[in-house]
Structure 1
Amino acid sequence: MIRRRRNVPWIQKNSRLIIGAIALIGLILTSYLTITSLGGGEVVCTGEEAGACGSVLDSAYAYPLDPAGKTGPPLSVFGMLGYLTMGVLSLAPLGISSENKKKLRQKLEANSWLLILALSFAMATFSGYLMYVLAFELQTACYYCIGSAIFSLSFLIMTFVGHDWDDLGQILFVGAIVVLVTIVGAIGVYSNVNAPIANQETPVAPGEKIPISRPNSAPQPPTGWDITTTSGPAEIELAEHLASVGATKYTAYWCPHCYDQKQLFGEEAYNIVPHVECTPDGLNGEPQKCEGVVRAFPTWLIDGEVYEGTQTLERLAQLTGYTGNTDFKYTLPGR
């Protein structure tokens, strides 16, 4: 008796390649976000939600190891590891010859599908939690976050339809455990996301500076976040010097790094610093003045030279030839 060979659906023949391709795109995306975050730059985002992208990616939820202090590796680093792992699990068995090492390949394929199933459940569940945060906590949109969530959901769908599962109960059992663990873990990680930050005027050791706090919520037009630091004599003197030499800061109310700059000065000193709001819906917005000058926020224009990113007050003093009081109170976290 001759057995007819069962036709394997196209989707199952190519499911590993499809999952691998999605993982590669996700790896590129999260690598870009990681490099930009660690480099202190601004992500590229256009449209009405341009400001929201940066604020979300620099919110407390973007720092899972220290949400309250917003220090440590950004969330995109863990996304990179997830996509890299998914890519390896899906593509590695394909590199083994099915003719010479058939049993080894079959064993790797069987075991890797279980790992792919577990990882896809975890990524989809965590992405779903972050979509909830985006919609109900931060109440804004982030195209990068939504795109990553779509990739994670695609993994789960491809895992279901791209493999001939013999036991539906196995899928449900693995899925239930992974979903439960992921939800509990996510809630635990972000349990202190809205915890109050220590008073900025808490005494520190002599010679040490106070790390500035960073916002845990989405910025609200037209001013973004309230400045919570207070200026000292050195900050005020430097601000007056910057004004006298014509140094100008180009800013956007939704920019977290611009807010860092405000926090370094303190409210009183920052109000002295010449600055231009580049967003139309910002307070006294003058976007026309930013054209041809600004590529990233914040941008400083000093003596005809452009300096991008948050500048320490020591650096601003050096760039402008300031020789006055340098007993500045604040520093960036992790410095």
Structure 2
Amino acid sequence: MRSKRSKPWIYRNSRFIIAGIAAVGAAITAYLAIEKLTGGIVICPVDGCDNVLESPYATVLGLPLALFGFLAYAGMGTMAIAPWLINPDSQKELRSKLENWSWLLMFVGGVSMTIFSSYLMYIMAFEIKSLCLYCIGSAICSLCLFILALIGRNWEDIGQLIFTAIIVGMITMVGTFAVYSPIHSTSASEPNVYGVTTTSTPAKVALAQHLTEVDAKMYGAYWCSHCQDQKKLFGQEAVSKLNYIECDSKGKNPQPNLCVTAGIKAYPTWEIDGKLQEGVVSLENLAKLSGYNGSTNFDNP
């Protein structure tokens, strides 16, 4: 009597591995989503995370992209462990169907997540031009999930699988371009989108004029929310008097070469007296750093 051939190791353990990787991806995206929703600061070992996480690509339908990533990883993990919740003795047929359907859904999810992550990696490298280790880690998790969904079981109809991947890939790309189309179609110079509407007091205008006189520079990008926060502190009239340098080539009057020469790694960054100050700086601190001696009663007209 010939013994029954045992399953390959990857077939026996793929669901465990998928569940583990999905948990890692869920942890990464949950952290980013929580910090974004609560207004916290993401701790990153390299410069550039803020540029990526504050870009318009990090928000979808008014919500953090990381939140949708968390739901995707949670879904993959749930599908990986779902068959284990079914009693194999009393509900054998149901478990078998659930295994087949969950594998197909994990494959579809893996294809979609990998294509979407690849697009975001392209945007990070060639559009935002900054490094985000969390985003790279999430992309690696997505790729691993796709590979495991592909090799983790014995697929009977490879042709049907390839056809499914093509259809899912096309739908994912169309959906991705549709979601991000407003970013590509919106001009950075449209005041209703990127303009500052807050009012300037005389003290704010005087500070802005002083900063320009001492050759202080504010480096930023049109899509940077922190840059908008900085500009709002000055108000519309004062902002027009600042020496603002646009670092994104798609912005209005861009000067990316100046940003590279100055070694700008985060937005906004102030250059005052040859020293760089990253992040939003209060008007009081800007006054001190630049040697401003005028009125500091910035909030009163």
Query: TM bucket by the smaller chain?
Result: 0.7 to 0.9
CA shift for structure 1 position 299: 6.6
Alignment of 1:297-316 (within 5 A): 297-298=279-280
| Pairing partner for 2:187 from 196, 218, 230 | 196
- CA deviations 1:222-265 (Å, max 9, x no partner) are xxxxxx5477443x446779xxxxxxxxxx95694541322212
Alignment of 1:1-335 (within 5 A): 2-47=1-46, 50=47, 52-65=48-61, 72-194=62-184, 195-196=186-187, 199-200=190-191, 213=194, 229=196, 232-234=199-201, 236-237=202-203, 256-264=224-232, 265-266=234-235, 269=238, 281=264, 282=269, 283-284=271-272, 286=275, 297-298=279-280, 324-325=300-301
Quote the Cα distance in structure 1 between the aligned partners of 2:29 and 2:7.
34
SS at match of 1:150: helix
Quote the Cα distance in structure 1 between the aligned partners of 2:188 and 2:220.
21
The answer to whether the Cα contact below 8 Å between 1:122 and 1:182 also exists between their aligned partners in 2 is yes
Percent sequence identity over matched residues?
Answer: 38
Residues 262 and 105 of structure 1: is their aligned pair in 2 closer, same or farther, counting only changes over 3 Å? same
- CA deviations 1:20-52 (Å, max 9, x no partner) are 1111111111111011111222211123xx1x2
The answer to whether the Cα contact below 8 Å between 2:19 and 2:76 also exists between their aligned partners in 1 is yes
Quote the Cα distance in structure 2 between the aligned partners of 1:141 and 1:280.
15
- CA deviations 1:117-139 (Å, max 9, x no partner) are 11111001111111121222222
Count how many residue pairs are aligned between Structure 1 and Structure 2: 254
Quote the Cα distance in structure 2 between the aligned partners of 1:323 and 1:128.
46
- CA deviations 1:26-85 (Å, max 9, x no partner) are 1111111011111222211123xx1x21111111111232xxxxxx10111110110011
CA shift for structure 1 position 187: 1.3
SS at match of 1:140: coil
What is the CA RMSD across the aligned residues, in angstroms? 3.3
- CA deviations 1:166-214 (Å, max 9, x no partner) are 11112101101100110111112112213126743x6xxxxxxxxx72x
Residues 323 and 125 of structure 1: is their aligned pair in 2 closer, same or farther, counting only changes over 3 Å? closer
The answer to whether the Cα contact below 8 Å between 2:79 and 2:102 also exists between their aligned partners in 1 is yes
**More helix, by proportion:** 2
The answer to whether the Cα contact below 8 Å between 2:200 and 2:236 also exists between their aligned partners in 1 is no
Where does structure 1 lack aligned partners over 5 or more consecutive residues? Answer: 66-71, 203-211, 214-227, 242-251, 274-278, 291-296, 304-319, 326-335
Residues 233 and 105 of structure 1: is their aligned pair in 2 closer, same or farther, counting only changes over 3 Å? closer
The answer to whether the Cα contact below 8 Å between 1:280 and 1:286 also exists between their aligned partners in 2 is no
The answer to whether the Cα contact below 8 Å between 2:51 and 2:130 also exists between their aligned partners in 1 is no
Quote the Cα distance in structure 2 between the aligned partners of 1:258 and 1:118.
37
Question: What amino acid maps onto 1:259 in structure 2?
Answer: C
CA shift for structure 1 position 322: 7.4
Q: What is the TM-score when the length of structure 1 is the normalising length?
A: 0.65
Residues 45 and 15 of structure 1: is their aligned pair in 2 closer, same or farther, counting only changes over 3 Å? same
Residues 55 and 79 of structure 1: is their aligned pair in 2 closer, same or farther, counting only changes over 3 Å? same
Quote the Cα distance in structure 2 between the aligned partners of 1:132 and 1:191.
16
Residues 180 and 233 of structure 1: is their aligned pair in 2 closer, same or farther, counting only changes over 3 Å? closer
SS at match of 2:227: helix
The answer to whether the Cα contact below 8 Å between 1:240 and 1:272 also exists between their aligned partners in 2 is no
